[in-house]
Amino acid sequence: MIQMYRKPSLFFLAVGLLVINSVNAQTKTKSDVSLDKKVEILLKKMTLEEKAGQLNQYNGFWDVTGPTPKEGLAAKKYEDLKKGLVGSMLNVKGVKDVRALQKIAVEQTRLGIPLLFGFDVIHGYKTISPIPLAESASWDLEAIRKSAEMAADEASSVGINWTFAPMVDVSRDARWGRVMEGAGEDPYLGSRIAEARVKGFQGDLSSNKNILACAKHFAGYALAESGRDYNTVDVGESTLQNVIFPPFKASLDAGVRTFMNSFNELNGIPATGNSYLQRQILKGDWNFQGFMVSDWGSIQEMKAHGFAKDDKHAAEIAINAGSDMDMESSAYVDYLPQLVREGKVKEATIDDAVRRVLRVKFELGLFDNPYKYCDEARELATVGKPEFQKEVLDMAKKSIVLLKNNNDILPLKKSGQKIALIGALANDKTSPLGSWRLAADENSAVSVLEGLQGYKDNQLTYVKGADVAIGTPKFIFETKINTTDTSGFEEALAVAKSADVVIMVLGEYGLQSGEGRSRTDLGLPGVQQELLEAIYKVNPNIVLVL
């Protein structure tokens, strides 16, 4: 049982803070002091606009091998980059492109402050490990740590130095589309896995094989009402302290250098503009020294919540509440200097946020070597190397969950068995990659069919039975589920009747649930349940692979 945090009296709280601050002052190392001095020296050289720029993150907007953008939003972003008004980029990958953008930041801007390059490395970069929810089913913390370490090694070789992972939200409604990104429903297991993944991604940051981790989404995102993504969250103090917070605190204790806030409201206040979460808890009670990045456009989205009247107002609310970096809203770079001059935001507030960003860049070693993650030879030697394949296979074996094995139908014999393999997903080489695998190659997984074909001494017959979806599933976009076409049933029934054992591979295609794609029905999509029941009537010796 997790012990509930109790609020101390104000007297003891004040005494405790004095003691903590005294200890912190006495235990600061020389390197910490030196780093602080470097940050302060640089901060004093910066204009207000350049400070706002360090808090500005842009999505990749320009093909660096193509012509320079001349008009529109891309042109504005490019000019901002040259003026030193960009602190970080996301979704830029590959040493060639990363080096080109870093070169602009370091060699063409007034102060030469290097960029951070972020990417959603959720369960592998090019080499894909099981989804985080599957990894958590292994309960093997060392294997999970190693999986994150491998992902960092591969991602860092293509220029990425920051991942937006781990997602440490405790989720208890399986309809929520993003349940696959986390460790499930238990705050204790979630906390231990959060530690393992942070340590795997980050290491000690001295190597170019480690990258910044990011604990997300702070806070309460996974407890959205009805499991509907982005929906409101309304919870009591006990749930907040004993269910939601522990994995985030564990991430912090493991050394995570960045946090990401969430899209949802928490008890009526958007997390991005929530000073209780960001200033009182994270930066106050927990003394977090890294920085908070918004989720994609979440500063701007406070308008949709009815909490901000326009982008300028949203920027004011977010920075005052402790959200340090603006991901893709452009609100900070466009409005923070003006808000300071109008007296609505203190420059000291901006300075605190900039200090946090600069400190992390110094810790990462980018000021010593801005091209630390730009080694073309290493990129060529690292991406997709055979050792990674062995590691993710080991992780996959440990992640498999056997729900039941009536009549000892498993393990299957390696020879002499007549096997019927049924289900469209059995011959799917993309769905097994799962959701959130942005850099993976489509059609690159080993399908169940391919795996079984390796056992030549068995008689294997494959039939689809029924499609899960009509058309090719695309990321984010709706794909129509097959709810009517049962024309393949007859062939499947014929094959099943004559088989010793039937293997049925059923479930969702890989992108059916995810961000913005919550499920209202947790059953097998389309006609698959009907297919399963029909096959069972003619041959109950079924191995069901979900």
295 is catalytic: yes
Instruction: Give the max Cα distance, the chain.
Output: 81
Q: What phi, psi does 201 have (nearest 5°)?
A: -70, -50
Give the span between the Cα atoms of 297 and 416, in whole angstroms: 58
CA separation (Å) from 173 to 187, 230, 454?
14, 14, 39
Rounded (5°) CA angle 267-270-275: 85
CB 258, CB 166: distance < 8 Å: no
C-alpha–C-alpha distance, residues 360 and 234, integer Å:
33
35 alpha carbon, distance to own chain's centre: 29
Spatial distance between the Cα atoms of 443 and 125, rounded to a whole number of angstroms: 15
Residue corresponding to tokens 């969250």:
233
Token output for 256: 């995570």
H-helix segments, 87-218:
95-107, 132-136, 141-156, 187-202
Contact 133, 189 (CB under 8 A): no
Contact 535, 492 (CB under 8 A): yes
What single letter denotes the amino acid at residue 303?
A: K
Helix (H) or strand (E) segment spanning residue 118: strand 116-119
Alpha-carbon distance of 336 to 241, in angstroms, equals 33
Residue 91 and residue 60: Cα distance in Å, rounded? 6
Dihedral Cα 451, 455, 460, 462, nearest 10 deg: 10
Q: Which ranges of 401-527 would DSSP assign to H, the alpha helix?
A: 448-453, 489-497
Among residues 120, 295, 324, 326, the one annotated as catalytic is 295
**CA 279 to CA 318: how far, in whole Å?**
11
- Which tokens is 11 given? 């007297």
The H-assigned helical ranges of 203-260 are: 237-239, 245-253
Task: Look up tokens 């606009």; give the residue.
Answer: 49
Catalytic residues: 295
